């Protein structure tokens, strides 16, 4: 996921909106948050937009396999 790289340097507590065309996003984004420790806040009310809260103590994932925590 591109969002993993984009989150570097983002302050904890920041709420980000992820806009995607991926039909699997409603499953993938919450799963990614579960793996990394970021907080999934749900759909943003706009089609294909999801909210994630950045957490300071997030876990690293393997960039080649972002669904696996390292």
Instruction: Decide if 69 contacts 59 (C-beta within 8 A).
Output: yes
State pLDDT tens for residues 10-69: 899 999 999 999 999 999 999 989 888 899 999 998 889 999 999 887 766 666 776 666
Distance of CA 38 to the CA centre of its chain: 7
Domain count, the chain: 1
DSSP for 11-63 reads PTT-EEEEE---TTHHHHHHHHHHHH-PEEEEE-SSTTEEEEE--TTPPPEET
Task: Identify the CATH number of the domain in which residue 15 sits.
Answer: 3.30.110.40
CA distances to 3, 5, 7, 58, 62 from 51, in Å: 12, 17, 13, 16, 22
Q: What range does the domain containing 9 cover?
A: 2-69
For position 25, what pLDDT does the model report?
94
């Amino acid at each position: 996921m591109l969002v993993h790289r984009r989150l570097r340097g983002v302050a904890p507590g920041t709420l980000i909106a992820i806009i995607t065309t991926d039909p699997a996003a409603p499953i993938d984004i919450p799963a990614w948050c579960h793996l990394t420790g970021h907080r999934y806040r749900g759909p943003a009310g706009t089609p294909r937009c999801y909210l994630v809260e950045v957490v300071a103590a997030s876990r690293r994932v393997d960039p080649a396999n972002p669904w696996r925590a390292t």
